[in-house]
Structure 1
Amino acid sequence: MPNDASLLIVEDEPKIARLMADYLQTNGFAVTTLEDGEAVMPWLEQHAPALILLDLMLPGVDGLTLCREIRQHYPHIAIIMVTAKVEEVDRLLGLELGADDYICKPFSPREVVARVKAVLRRSQATDAATQGPPPSPVTLNDDGWQALANGQDIGLTAVEFQLLRVMMHAPGRIFSREQLMDHMYRDNRIVSERTVDSHVKKLRKKIADVLPEQDIIRSVYGVGYKYQPEG
């Protein structure tokens, strides 16, 4: 893979930003650095980086908010979150945010280069594999907590919407019932696996009422569930 991709580093600590930029430039990448979260979205209106190294804690707009906005407006840009908060890792990779990978501080500059190359390889492979697919039969409206099929509101509950959103953001990935419970219930309440099965059953029925020809929520015996659109 040629290392001529354009990268954006969003980091408010100048020494860390410079260190990452130097190593990445040495490896052939074109690098831009920004230190304020508020500058990111305006910059992206004029530029198209292949990957963003995004710090979690930023002035102006925090990294989690930026990750969500970038995913919404620029879904093909790869994102690696940089954080000193190990307890946030699950959220960073949580599919409602859509980060492709994470790096924990303190880190080795060589690790940064290796992870950037790995994420770009995966991103390019995914783009090649999915070039020209039919549009997804279901779209999500996060602001209104709506799932739409052929423009029609499926009528999901909040829990069903969250369940569908988690799976839709990683098509083909199999989620265990425990993983789905963690995303569905942020208050750590204790629920049984049968509760997840019940929600999935209702979700599948509501989708089938609108899309009777497509089985897009698949069960994997003994493992869990996945979102697998046809085509």
Structure 2
Amino acid sequence: MRHLVTSYLEDHDIRAVSATRRDEVAALLTRANPDLVVLDLRLGQDDGLDLLREIRASSDVPIIIATGHRRDEIDRVVGLELGADDYITKPFGLRELLARIRAVLRRREAGRVAAQREIEKGRCRFGSWQLDRRNRRLTNAQGEPVALSKGEYTLLVAFLDAPQRPLSREHLLQATRIHEDVFDRSIDVQVLRLRRKLETDPSAPSVIRTERGVGYVFTLPVEPL
């Protein structure tokens, strides 16, 4: 299977190298500097989740984990929680594997482009708040920094990119790049948390207003600085 996968990827213009043992992986990561890793969680007699932890401790390389049948559902969930970008279940088709590899690489490239654009946008003001995108720093009217989680920050940026416009939950899901398996109610939770940071009275929000039947509206105008 390893040779079959490698040959198939090579035939589709993807240079591929493979390892059979866990102790080969660290050297390959250093030497080959891969754009993506496909990790079999049943790599020989080793625990693939431990190897996943080791890779994530030193690298943010995209990782697709390969697991067995439904009995490995827990491993899939744990793998995603440990930082895997996607998973594929064995036995899998080579076309599906190729499609998943290309999709993960596209998302990674899109993320890099978005991050660069975010840096280029610099600072902006909305109401009495300021956001510096270069260092992801939000400050209030007194110039004091306000801590934001990753989810709160990405949601705030999505609102600032489209102020005073009704935005659906589906749009916000895509804009914040939340995993597709997460239900759209998770957006409501993130909005609630962001309101607690921005609103004078979160129970009567005026900055992030609920638009019934649509989603949410960020009511403040945004001024670039």
Distance verdict in 2 for CA 1:129–1:220, change over 3 Å = farther
In structure 1, list runs of 5 or more residues that go unmatched. 1-15, 138-149, 155-163, 180-195, 206-217, 224-231
Indicate the residue corresponding to 2:67 in structure 1: 83
Is the CA contact (8 Å cut-off) linking 1:38 and 1:60 kept in structure 2? no
Distance verdict in 2 for CA 1:220–1:30, change over 3 Å = farther
Q: Shift of residue 71 of structure 1?
A: 2.5
Cα RMSD between the aligned structures? 4.3
In structure 2, list runs of 5 or more residues that go unmatched. 120-133, 138-144, 156-175, 198-207, 216-225
Instruction: Give the partner amino acid of 2:100.
Output: R
**1:102 counterpart SS class:** strand
Superposition TM-score, scaled by structure 2 size = 0.53
Q: How far apart are the structure 1 equivalents of 2:210 and 2:15?
A: 43
Counterpart selection for 1:37 from 22, 36, 50: 22
Kindly report which structure 2 residues correspond to 1:36-185, keeping only aligned pairs within 5 A, or say none: 36-59=21-44, 61-75=46-60, 77-86=61-70, 87-88=73-74, 89-93=76-80, 96-131=81-116, 133=119, 134-135=134-135, 172-173=176-177
Q: How far apart are the structure 1 equivalents of 2:49 and 2:29?
A: 17
Instruction: Give the partner amino acid of 2:65.
Output: M
Instruction: Give the partner amino acid of 1:80.
Output: I
Distance verdict in 2 for CA 1:30–1:173, change over 3 Å = closer
Superposition TM-score, scaled by structure 1 size = 0.52
**1:32 counterpart SS class:** coil
1:26 partnered with 2:25: no
Question: Rg bigger for which structure?
Answer: 2
Q: How far apart are the structure 2 equivalents of 1:219 and 1:36?
A: 54
Detail structure 1 runs of 4+ shifted over 4 Å in the superposition: 173-179, 218-223
Deviations, residues 7-47 of structure 1 (Å, cap 9, x unaligned) = xxxxxxxxx11111111010011110101122212321223
> Normalized per residue, which structure has more helix?
2
Distance verdict in 2 for CA 1:176–1:119, change over 3 Å = closer
Identity %: 36
Q: How far apart are the structure 2 equivalents of 1:63 and 1:49?
A: 18
Instruction: Give the partner amino acid of 1:79.
Output: I
Q: How far apart are the structure 2 equivalents of 1:219 and 1:136?
A: 23
**2:31 counterpart SS class:** coil
Greater Cα offset, 115-124 or 62-71: 62-71
Is the CA contact (8 Å cut-off) linking 1:37 and 1:60 kept in structure 2? no
Q: How far apart are the structure 2 equivalents of 1:19 and 1:104?
A: 16
Distance verdict in 2 for CA 1:107–1:177, change over 3 Å = closer
Instruction: Give the partner amino acid of 2:64.
Output: I
Q: How far apart are the structure 1 equivalents of 2:38 and 2:210?
A: 34
Is the CA contact (8 Å cut-off) linking 1:92 and 1:99 kept in structure 2? yes
